[in-house]
Amino acid sequence: MPTLFDPVQAGDLHLKNRIVMAPLTRNRSPNAIPRDITATYYAQRADAGLLITEATAISHQGQGYADVPGLYGTEQLDGWKKVTGAVHAKGGKIVTQLWHVGRVSHTELQPDGGAPVAPSAITAKTKTVLIKDGVPTFVETSHPRALKVTELPGIVHTYAAAARNAVETAGFDGVEIHGANGYLLDQFLKDGSNHRTDDYGGSIENRARLLLEVTRAVADAVGHGKVGIRLSPVTPANDVVDSAPQPLFEYVVKQLAQLGLAYIHIIEGATGGPREIPDRPFDYDALKQAYREAGGRAAWMVNNGYDLPMAEIAVKEGDDLIAFGKPFIANPDLVRRIREGAPWNEVDKATLYGGGEKGYTDYPTLD
């Protein structure tokens, strides 16, 4: 019977255990450049089988929050080189999460103060983060414009270029496509945010088109076995909803099954919230079964509110990887604490977003 501490193969990635550090936005990269403390932060947590970086913008247009990192400039890639070098020196594996926020942005964060882009010109009823007088401040998102169909090949190309930058220049072991949490690819998937009438709207096949085009392009750019993808079938994060998520996501995973990816990363329930949403029931076992029956062999990663007993049961029942989020913020030695049955530090919520070393690299370890 497998345990959390058994190694596992995820595509081209040989992972020393099944414990994954989930992507966690920390807003500590001014000018979208990872700093030296970013390298310290990830290296401290390199005992995980896999580290997934905070969501990282593929372009200036893809940025939706202040002081989040990017993959589109030389200084940004140089900053990430320090991170991957520090993690590899500790024997860790690290992938970066490719991010385009779509409509979840603000004109102050966009090139030339332009409107954010989206599948349809529908404002997200959510907030983003700007830095005001050095203080992270939540503000309403700006009204977006709908992307022209002629712009979509450029979006696909940008994802592939960012993936190439990540692997070939910055030294990442792979990439994760962010197709979840109400950001651009998820906005196209779900009919609450996608009201298009062209080939990228309407039917399930059309709404899934951009996500699948991006995934194929990224896989072709860096190798299929170096690519994971994150999906969130029913999360209400960032004001997204679909009228029929089960058939939508079963279609998506059946298509992904043909691509030979490293892993499929599923957020169960509401991101950072309840695992069961009464008005949005979803059968995650059926989702995985649909993927496997379609020939999918990628590692299956589950996420959202897992504690140790839940994680152990999930692995025994056939899930390959368990992603932990906030526990990794407060416990740089979380893997050791799990192994030894030691207590976990609590997260300091006041230091989650923005700032420096406090609440970032100064959490105590067992030593």
Return the beta strands (E) in 40-173 as ranges: 50-57, 94-99, 117-118, 127-132, 135-140, 145-146
Return d(Cα 162, Cα 168) in angstroms, integer: 10
Return d(Cα 67, Cα 63) in angstroms, integer: 9
DSSP label of 167 = I
Of 183, 251, 284, 353, which is the active-site residue? 183
- CB-CB contact of 245 with 233 (8 Å): yes
41: annotated active-site residue: no
Nearest alpha-carbon partner for 88 in 8, 160, 16: 16
Element housing 321 (H / E): strand 321-324
Residue partners of 134: CB distance under 8 A and separation at least 6: none
Torsion of CA 36, 37, 42, 43, to 10 degrees: 70
- Quick one: how far is CA 129 from the chain centroid? 18
DSSP label of 304 = S
Return d(Cα 121, Cα 110) in angstroms, integer: 16
Active site residues: 183
